């Protein structure tokens, strides 16, 4: 992340700094997931299924913050790899219910490790206390603006 070329008045604004760090964070996470043949959407959907249980594709997208068309493609990818199963919803035969498999739960744990390494790389210059403070402050901002 090269900040020295930017005007001083930008380098001192929280919005600019947050964006610069977010770009770097996205790259680190994407590279980490790509190295294990995964994507962010894989992580989002598997984490959502593990935390909230089986869901329709529409509910999965809403909870995971993934667009409907991306949910379909991602569920197809995950199903092809045996990480999720789809079954017709007995209450509404027009929709599918998606469930995480044991292999999907194991893959999610592996992706947790990949994500943790990316976080460690991103936050390397910060102490454990600074990291906690940063997460607390960013959480407060995210909650306020949601």
Q: Could you report the per-residue pLDDT of 12-54, keeping only the tens digit for each?
A: 899 999 999 999 999 999 999 999 999 999 999 999 999 999 9
* Fold assignment, 40-145: Arc Repressor Mutant, subunit A (1.10.10)
Residue 56: pLDDT band by 50, 70, 90 thresholds? very high
Confidence grade of residue 6 (pLDDT, cut at 50, 70, 90): confident
Q: Which band of pLDDT confidence, cut at 50, 70 and 90, is reported for residue 5?
A: confident
pLDDT, tens digit, 9 for 90 and up, residues 70-113: 999 999 999 999 999 999 988 888 899 999 999 999 999 999 99
Cα 57 to Cα 31, 50, 68, 98: the distances in Å are 27, 14, 8, 7
What does pTM read for this prediction?
0.88
Q: Sketch the domain layout of the chain as residue ranges.
A: 40-145
DSSP summary character for residue 127: -
Q: What is the 3-state secondary structure (H, E, C) of 13-75?
A: CHHHHHHHHHHHHHHHHHHHHHHCCCCHHHHHHHHHHHHHCCEEHHHHHHHHCCCHHHHHHHH
Once rounded to an integer, what is the mean pLDDT over residues 60-78?
94
């Amino acid at each position: 992340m090269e900040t020295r070329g930017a005007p001083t008045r930008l380098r001192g604004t929280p919005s600019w700094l947050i964006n610069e760090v977010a770009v770097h964070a996205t790259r680190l996470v994407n590279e980490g997931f790509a190295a294990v043949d995964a994507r962010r959407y894989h992580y989002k959907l598997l984490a959502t299924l593990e935390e909230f249980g089986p869901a329709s594709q529409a509910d999965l997208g809403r909870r995971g913050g993934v667009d409907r068309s991306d949910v379909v493609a991602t569920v197809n990818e995950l199903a092809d790899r045996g990480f999720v199963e789809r079954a017709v919803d007995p209450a509404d035969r027009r929709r599918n219910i998606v469930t995480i498999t044991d292999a999907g739960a194991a893959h999610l744990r592996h992706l947790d490790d990949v994500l943790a390494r990316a976080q460690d790389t991103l936050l390397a210059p910060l102490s454990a206390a600074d990291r906690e403070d940063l997460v607390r402050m960013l959480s407060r901002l995210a909650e306020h603006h949601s």
